[in-house]
């Protein structure tokens, strides 16, 4: 690690809220707190060791619980990151975020940021006021990863609980545990511990500079519908009536759906709605023409993307003007 202060990397820390900036009245509480209330300056002050990792420029982009993240805020965040990374005096960006929608924001940035400089997201499962809060070490590790040469060109990364994940693969897998984030199909990219960054593998699919997507100003309406025992077609029909442009199926098993939903989706497709099949299972992939006949139905398979990430990709594809099933299938097989 670099020790001379004026040669340390220059990193921007963009805070958006979340539990990492959460506060409870009682240190023994790890639930029932308010997320997104502690400002970025206080978060940084709590970790004096950050000063020996990087020179920091901090910005408060938002102060929200990430359950309230919006596409409009994604547009602001992605553009701000691009603007900062275009500056010669910024070597990388760290984003602090809530855990609830972290995987969606991370994948959105992975596909829209136009820079090879490191972008690392981090978060916390316990509020900043808690005994054994996990935020300070996650923040230190995120800056350590963003300051490392190996992180460049790897797309958007997540530093969480000593692991480094790719934005494409990572997902929240626990409602309370400090090791809440996993990459179920591909595994983590590497680890970060005590100042050491160790990548074990790299990202294969295109992202950032190689991605065809730019962040939209206007976001197409895309919603998610699950299949389950006894599901009715009411949600699909209501969404079509509301003018939805795309629907992602959180299907059973390998992206299958009840006969009732299959008919509702066929009708929706007939009215110009794009339908993507993903799975509610949590790991594994959805095969084209596997558990449902995509060719006959006009549907698209999401591969290994979970429903929430498939929604992000479908929104970007539709915003780019791609809405036919073959064009969308190419996109889902590429990204």
In the complex, the residues that contact ligand ASP under the rule CB under 6 A are 17-19, 35, 65-67, 98-100, 123, 125
Nearest to 253 by CA among 225, 228, 223, 289: 228
- Sequence-distant (≥ 6) Cβ neighbours of residue 65 within 8 angstroms: 17, 18, 35, 36, 98, 100
- Is residue 7 annotated as a catalytic residue, yes or no? no
Cβ proximity to ligand ASP, 175 vs 202, nearer residue: 175
Residue 199: CB atoms within 10 Å: 18
Q: Provide the Cα torsion 69, 72, 73, 78; round to 10°.
A: 130
Nearest to 179 by CA among 123, 108, 110, 109: 123
Instruction: For the CB of residue 273, give the shortest distance to ligand ASP in the complex, in Å.
Output: 30
206/208 Cα distance (integer angstroms): 7
Name the maximum alpha-carbon separation found in the chain: 66
What secondary structure letter does DSSP report for 301?
A: E
123 versus 248: smaller Cβ distance to ligand ASP: 123
Relative to beta strand 246-251, strand 190-193 is unpaired
- Which residue in 11, 304, 261, 258 sits closest to 143, CA to CA? 11
Strand partners of residue 181 = 172
**Least distance from ligand ASP to the Cβ atom of residue 264, Å:** 32
Point out the residue whose Cβ comes nearest to ligand ASP. Answer: 98
Q: How far is the CB of 36 from ligand ASP (least distance, A)?
A: 6
CB of 315 to ligand ASP, least distance (A): 20
CB of 259 to ligand ASP, least distance (A): 36
Closer residue to ligand ASP (CB): 67 or 149: 67
Burial class (CB in 10 A: 0-12, 13-18, 19+), 63: middle
Q: Which is nearer to ligand ASP, 68 or 267 (CB)?
A: 68
Identify the active-site residue in 3, 7, 16, 19.
19
| CB 22, min distance to ligand ASP, A | 7
| Residue 91 or 100 with smaller CB distance to ligand ASP | 100
8 Å CB contact between 148 and 123: no
Please choose, from the candidates 203, 14, 213, the residue with its C-alpha nearest in 3D space to the C-alpha of residue 113.
213
Residue 63 or 162: which CB sits closer to ligand ASP?
63
Q: Which residues are catalytic?
A: 19
């Amino acid at each position: 690690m670099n020790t001379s202060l004026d040669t340390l990397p220059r990193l921007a820390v963009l805070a958006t809220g979340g539990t990492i900036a959460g506060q409870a009245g009682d240190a023994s509480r790890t639930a029932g707190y308010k997320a997104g209330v502690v400002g970025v300056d206080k978060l940084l002050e709590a970790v004096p060791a950050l000063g020996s990792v990087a020179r920091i420029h901090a910005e408060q982009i938002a102060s929200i619980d990430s359950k309230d993240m919006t596409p409009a805020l994604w547009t602001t965040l992605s553009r701000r990151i691009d603007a900062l990374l275009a500056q010669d005096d910024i070597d990388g960006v760290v984003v602090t975020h809530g855990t609830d929608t972290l995987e969606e924001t991370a994948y959105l940035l992975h596909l829209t940021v136009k820079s090879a400089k490191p972008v690392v997201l981090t978060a916390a499962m316990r509020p900043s006021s808690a005994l054994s809060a996990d935020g300070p070490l996650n923040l230190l590790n995120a800056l350590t990863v963003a300051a490392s040469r190996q992180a460049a060109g790897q797309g958007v990364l997540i530093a969480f609980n000593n692991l480094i994940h790719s934005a494409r693969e990572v997902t929240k897998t626990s409602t309370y545990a400090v090791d809440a984030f996993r990459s179920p199909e591909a595994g983590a990219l590497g680890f970060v511990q005590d100042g050491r960054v160790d990548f074990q593998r790299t990202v294969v699919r295109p992202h950032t500079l190689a991605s065809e997507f730019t962040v939209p100003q206007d976001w197409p309406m895309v919603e998610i519908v699950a299949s389950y025992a006894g599901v009715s077609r009411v949600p699909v029909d209501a969404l079509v009536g509301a003018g939805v442009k795309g629907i992602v199926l959180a299907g059973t098993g390998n992206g299958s759906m009840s006969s009732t939903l299959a008919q509702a989706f066929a009708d929706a497709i007939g009215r110009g709605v794009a339908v993507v099949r993903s799975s509610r299972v949590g790991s594994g992939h959805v095969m084209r023409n596997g558990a449902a006949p995509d060719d006959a139905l006009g549907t698209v398979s999401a591969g290994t993307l979970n429903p929430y990430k498939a929604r992000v990709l479908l929104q970007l594809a539709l915003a780019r003007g791609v809405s036919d099933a073959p064009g969308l299938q190419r996109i889902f097989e590429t990204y």
